[in-house]
């Protein structure tokens, strides 16, 4: 009988494991079943463009029904309730057993329970454009100055002040950071360039300001009440997993991406804390999830060949941060890049990562036409 691989979660970690496994084995040699609560894979690094109305959501989401045909796996549109790691069994409305089992259920950004009528999560498929066009808010507050918060606020600045022609006195943009700096996990070079961009994009930055609660009128913060007609929540990511792994913290794994003696059960991606230098975890990034997926596919191949796989070593290749249309900053293999060229590279790299050729072409076409329409931005 051919080996069966079960994958829980079709994000960057789970989907790319299926894609890499298909490089080694045909569907006649190995069966792959992928479970996801959602119907589509969402390409999160481009979501801030969707949010600001630059790209339609259907360009960054790919139905699993299409991906399963291209990469020859069975897709089950089911929510996994429970996992038995000792028998590699997944429990949905029925139970399914596998020879290899992968837990890659990622993370989520919990929105605060609040009566505020306009609170958004960048991960959902909404765009702020419609709301802004219907009823222009006087102030928009983005909570969280990590990569998602910074990219989103820069994109919103372009939307409001360049594309729609509003002025900062008509509508103000605020970014809240609970820490003394923005982008705390990135280098000081990237922080400095991002700070400069925020200033030029008329974003009011509030450092050391923790969002405590949200009411109808705005946000209660550690430094006082901040009125906001629209709130964008980009802070406080927590892992999500089926029982019994549904804790508050990322699941600590070994350097082989296992959590017990069972070497056919792998846990990785945002849900896991995969060991990295100085007892820290590999960062929660799409590129780390893809690197781990490639490792797991090679590990499964090694197991089937009765070989011992080497431990996983995370190689941080690049960080690229979009600072709104026409500008980005990053470090590629230790080389610092900034400006239009960084932005062009940022787009090209993500375009190549899209797992469906048809989507690559549609996005490339959309970006090219947008480039011609785009006003020259001097920030
Ligand atoms: C707005 C935003 C922007 C980002 N930008 C970047 C960026 O520019 N660069 C970068 O490197 N990273 C970026 N990231 C981070 C990146 O998206 C994550 O690190 C990456 O998606 C992690 O992959 P994953 O497969 O572990 O989890 P996810 O991509 O979250 O996928 C998990 C999947 O599991 C499914 N699932 C969860 N629970 C269950 C269940 N019980 N049963 C069945 N299915 C389940 C979910 O539906 C989901 O499809 C961004 C994230 C966000 C939210």
pLDDT tens, residue by residue, 35-78? 999 999 999 999 988 888 888 898 899 999 999 999 999 999 99
Please check the confidence at residue 204 and state whether its pLDDT lies above 50.
yes
At residue 221, the pLDDT reads 95
Stronger pLDDT, 36 or 347, i.e. the higher one: 36
3-state SS, residue 342: helix
Instruction: Looking at the CA of residue 105, tell me the nearest atom of ligand 1.
Output: 34
Mean pLDDT across the chain: 92
Domains in the chain: ranges and CATH: 4-108+237-304 (3.50.50.60), 119-236+318-373 (3.50.50.100)
Our answer on whether the CB atom of 269 is closer than 6 Å to any ligand 1 atom is yes
Angle, vertex CA 333, rays to CA 329 and CA 334, nearest 5: 70
128: CA distance to ligand 1 center in Å? 21
The verdict on the CB of residue 242 being under 6 Å from ligand 1 is yes
List, in order, residues 6 or more apart from 49 with CB less than 8 Å away.
55, 60, 155
Q: Tens digit of pLDDT for each residue in 100-156?
A: 999 999 999 888 888 888 898 887 777 788 778 888 889 999 999 999 999 999 999
Six token digits for residue 79: 């929510």
Per residue in 243-276, pLDDT (tens digit) is: 999 988 999 999 999 999 999 999 999 999 999 9
pLDDT digits (tens, 9 = 90+) for 126-139: 778 877 888 888 99
| Cβ neighbour number for residue 225 with a 10 Å cutoff | 13
- In the reported structure, the alpha carbon of residue 41 is separated from the centroid of ligand 1 by a whole-number distance in angstroms of 9
pLDDT above 90: percentage of residues in the chain: 72
Burial of 292 (0-12, 13-18, 19+ CB in 10 A): buried
In testing the pocket of ligand 1, which one of 42, 105, 319 has its CB within 8 Å of the most ligand atoms?
Answer: 105
Q: Sorting pLDDT into bands at 50, 70 and 90, what band is 375?
A: low
284 within ligand 1 shell (Cβ under 6 A) = yes
- Model confidence at 379, pLDDT cuts 50, 70, 90, reads very low
Q: Is the CB of 38 under 6 A from ligand 1?
A: yes
State in Å: Cα 319 to ligand 1 middle.
Answer: 17
């Amino acid at each position: 009988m051919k080996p069966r691989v079960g994958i829980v979660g079709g994000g960057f970690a789970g989907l790319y494991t299926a894609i890499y496994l298909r490089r080694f084995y045909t569907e006649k040699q190995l069966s792959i079943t992928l479970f996801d609560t959602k119907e589509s894979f969402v390409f999160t690094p481009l979501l801030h463009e969707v949010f600001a109305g630059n790209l339609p959501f259907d360009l960054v989401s790919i139905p699993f029904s299409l991906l399963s045909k291209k990469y020859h796996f069975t897709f089950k549109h089911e929510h996994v309730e429970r996992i038995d790691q000792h028998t590699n069994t997944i429990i949905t409305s029925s139970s399914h057993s596998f020879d290899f089992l992968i837990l890659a259920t990622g993370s989520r950004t919990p929105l605060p329970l609040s009566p505020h009528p306009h609170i958004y999560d960048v991960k959902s498929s909404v765009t702020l454009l419609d709301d802004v066009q219907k009823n222009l808010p006087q102030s928009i507050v983005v909570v969280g100055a990590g990569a998602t918060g910074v990219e989103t606020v820069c994109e919103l600045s372009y939307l409001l002040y360049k594309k729609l022609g509003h002025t900062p006195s008509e509508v103000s943009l605020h970014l809240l950071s609970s820490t003394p700096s923005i982008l705390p996990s990135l280098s000081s070079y990237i922080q400095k360039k991002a700070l400069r961009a925020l200033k030029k994009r008329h974003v009011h930055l509030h450092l050391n300001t923790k969002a405590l609660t949200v009411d109808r009128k705005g946000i209660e913060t550690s430094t006082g009440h901040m009125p906001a007609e629209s709130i964008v929540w980009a802070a406080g990511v927590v892992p999500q997993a089926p029982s019994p792994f549904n804790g508050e913290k990322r699941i600590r794994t070994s350097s082989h991406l296992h959590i017990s003696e069972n070497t056919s059960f792998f846990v990785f991606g945002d849900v896991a804390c995969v060991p990295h230098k100085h007892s820290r975890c590999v960062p929660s990034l799409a590129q780390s999830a893809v690197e781990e997926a490639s490792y797991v596919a090679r590990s499964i191949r090694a197991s089937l060949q009765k070989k011992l796989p080497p431990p996983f070593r995370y190689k941080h290749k690049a960080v690229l941060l979009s600072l709104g249309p026409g500008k980005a900053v990053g470090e590629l293999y230790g080389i610092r890049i900034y400006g239009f060229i960084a932005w062009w590279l940022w787009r090209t790299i993500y375009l190549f990562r899209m797992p469906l050729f048809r989507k690559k072409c549609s996005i490339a076409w959309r970006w090219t036409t947008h480039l011609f329409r785009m006003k020259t931005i001097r920030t």
